Amino acid sequence: MIRLVVGLGNPGKEYERTRHNAGFWLVEKYAQASGFVLRKDPKFKALVGKNAAGAWFLLPQSFMNLSGQPVQMLAGFFRIKPEEILVVHDELDFPPGVARVKQGGGIAGHNGLKDISQRLGSHDYWRLRLGVGKPPAGTEGGDYVLHKPSAEEKTAIDEAIGRSLHVLPEMLTGDIQAAIQKLHSSEPKPAPEKKEPPKKEIPVKEPEKQPEPQKSGGLLKSLFGKK
């Protein structure tokens, strides 16, 4: 059973539409759809809400690299174990439109996950990874996630969030494996690459050989015959 859902992101208007705030986007949409409010709680340094079933939702307001402190405080206060926590975050290893769930594993340089793991002293929390795509060549990952996705990318991310929200109730009630199977099987398959038909080779005609001009002597012989 999941008792705490944490959306990762950075507070402030300048960050709210950036790739790094994908975790915020999901929790905000869930709260809106479920009819509860995320309120600022200075004690936890976060926006905090609770759904009708009693699960907590948290958006740290301490910036990404300090996300672990609000998680640690709320989890400690309500005695929530790491394996009862779901952290929603942006994932560079997946293209926009992909959403995957796993428990534990490497943090791949994600500062929010790094701080949470250190604060909880565990990697055993669950993770819902929302793909935002790899940065282009020559662009650092830290800079890439602090920029807005293109309109096409944002549409794909929103679709992945929608599929995730569809299975989230099952995760909250403890049927995590069923939720994972549904989410992963609903992932859109990449369009097959179009293969160009082989080009027909047009045979090149060899130039016709022209008869060699006869020498003047030969021409006279042909006209008058041999003497």
d(CA 179, CA 162): 13
103: nearest Cα among 129, 80, 77: 129
Spatial contact of 90 and 145, defined as CB atoms under 8 Å apart: yes
Q: Out of 20, 147, 166, 184, which one is annotated catalytic?
A: 20
Q: How far, in Å, CA of 215 to CA of 204, rounded?
A: 33
Nearest to 21 by CA among 55, 72, 74, 67: 67
Q: Report the candidate in 108, 103, 111, 76 with the shortest Cα–Cα distance to residue 93.
A: 108
Strands of the sheet containing 46-50, edge to edge, are 39-41, 46-50, 56-60, 4-7, 85-91, 126-131, 99-103
Element (H, E) at 18: none
Q: How far apart, in whole angstroms, are the C-alpha atoms of residue 31 and residue 201? A: 62
Q: Is 123 assigned a catalytic role?
A: no
Residues recognised as catalytic: 20
